Amino acid sequence: MNVTGLAGRPGFMARNAVARSAVGPRSSLPVPRVSPFSTSTSLSCVNHKPGSANPSDSETNRPGSLADKYSAGLRQNKDWAANTARDHPDLFPTLATGQQPQILWLGCSDSRCPETSMLGLQPGDVFVHRNIANILHPGDLSSGAVIEYAVKHLRVKHVVVCGHTSCGGVAAAMGNKELGILDPWLLPLRQVRERNLPLLQSLSPEEAALKLVELNVREGLSVVTQKSAVLNAIQERGLQVHGLIYDVGSGVLRELDIQETEESLRARLVAFKTDN
Ligand SMILES: [Zn+2]
């Protein structure tokens, strides 16, 4: 598809993206009054009303409250495990023996972007590295180790770099507010912004934020395909790399056109491929 057309698609508008904080729209939640390490939380509650919206902070923080997502999640885990075992009897016994994921997913930490759920896949299908704004620093040990392990040892078939609409990290990089530790983390995004400033300034704030999401995915793909393990896997066994943008407002993934010219691929192989 023509990726330059994405910015103009209504479904891909990052509503209020520029106004959001670096870590999302709910960054001002109060500190829970229960011990963060407590394991004695009661999971029982008799007053739960399914679907009741916007619980108060005091209700959310009450130990064992059904409005508290941690308590609810622990309780629901038992049902999930039982239902999954019933629907897929071989899944857990197979996973207990090891993993053979076909996909390496490099995405944003944003809570609205659960990769396995949005793909409709199961545990064991996706090997994952997520960080704020799905930024791939070339020298980052964490993402580098994940990529190398997934490609060389798990031998995944697909590597995905996925950005998303309304990304708080992208919104932060589009602004000029000091953010402490996030500033060095977001530096590659600001560098992409610098290199594409005339284009970004020609767009509306929403379109510019979405364009930076796309450019950041392309930058991440460039970093991934500068790694020798990835280049070797592309050449030797047809490893595929993909760029995606996830629309948090619709749940729909869009694939970017990342076709590379022969000349560009050849230059990449010459410059970055090393032998064992
Ligand atoms: Zn994000």
| Any domain includes 182 | yes
| Any domain includes 212 | yes
Indicate whether 141 and 276 sit together in one domain: yes
| Any domain includes 131 | yes
Indicate whether 78 and 138 sit together in one domain: no
Residue 137 among known ligand-binding residues: no
Q: Which two tokens stand for residue 13?
A: 């508008």
Indicate whether 80 and 109 sit together in one domain: no
Distance (Å, whole) CA 173 – CA 140: 19
CB 50 within 8 A of CB 21: no
Cα 8 to middle of ligand 1, angstroms? 20
Distance (Å, whole) CA 104 – CA 159: 5
Q: What is the pLDDT of residue 56?
A: 63
* Average pLDDT of the residues in 169-191: 97
The percent of residues in the chain predicted with pLDDT above 70, rounded, is 76
- The pair phi, psi for residue 248, each rounded to 5°, is -65, -15
Distance (Å, whole) CA 170 – CA 248: 14
Share in percent of the chain as helix, strand, coil (round to 5) = 45, 10, 40
Higher pLDDT, 202 or 28: 202
Higher pLDDT, 83 or 10: 83
Cα 202 to middle of ligand 1, angstroms? 23
Enumerate the active-site residues.
108, 110, 112, 164, 167
Indicate whether 122 and 233 sit together in one domain: yes
Residue 113 among known ligand-binding residues: no
Cut 0.75: pTM above it: yes
Cα 59 to middle of ligand 1, angstroms? 28
Indicate whether 179 and 152 sit together in one domain: yes
Q: Which two tokens stand for residue 7?
A: 């910015």
Residue 247 among known ligand-binding residues: no
Cα 116 to middle of ligand 1, angstroms? 16
CB 175 within 8 A of CB 18: yes
Indicate whether 81 and 122 sit together in one domain: no
* Average pLDDT of the residues in 72-85: 96
Indicate whether 114 and 77 sit together in one domain: no
| Any domain includes 114 | yes
CATH code for position 180: 3.40.1050.10
DSSP state of 31: P
Lowest mean pLDDT among 24-38, 169-183, 185-199: 24-38
Distance (Å, whole) CA 107 – CA 51: 29
Residue 158's DSSP bridge partners are 103, 240
| Any domain includes 92 | no
- What is the domain extent for residue 130? 99-276
Cα 203 to middle of ligand 1, angstroms? 20
Indicate the helix (H) or strand (E) that contains 120.
Answer: none
Indicate whether 120 and 254 sit together in one domain: yes
Q: How confident is the model at residue 40 (pLDDT cuts 50, 70, 90)?
A: very low
pLDDT averaged over every residue in the chain: 84
Indicate whether 267 and 213 sit together in one domain: yes
The amino acid that residue 109 corresponds to is: S
Q: How confident is the model at residue 275 (pLDDT cuts 50, 70, 90)?
A: confident
Distance (Å, whole) CA 268 – CA 261: 11
pLDDT at 14 over 90: no
pLDDT at 271 over 90: yes
User: How many angstroms separate the Cα of 213 from the Cα of each of 14, 192, 209, 220, 265?
Assistant: 10, 10, 6, 11, 23
Distance (Å, whole) CA 167 – CA 170: 5
Q: What is the total count of domains within the chain?
A: 2
Indicate whether 107 and 228 sit together in one domain: yes
Indicate whether 105 and 229 sit together in one domain: yes
User: How many angstroms separate the Cα of 214 from the Cα of each of 25, 152, 200?
Assistant: 21, 27, 12
Indicate whether 162 and 67 sit together in one domain: no
User: How many angstroms separate the Cα of 275 from the Cα of each of 159, 227, 228, 270?
Assistant: 21, 12, 8, 12
Q: How confident is the model at residue 276 (pLDDT cuts 50, 70, 90)?
A: confident
Which among 230, 21, 220 is positioned nearest to 135, based on CA atoms?
220
Residue 110 among known ligand-binding residues: yes
Express each pLDDT in 138-153 by its tens digit: 999 999 999 999 999 9
Lowest mean pLDDT among 5-14, 85-94, 95-104: 5-14
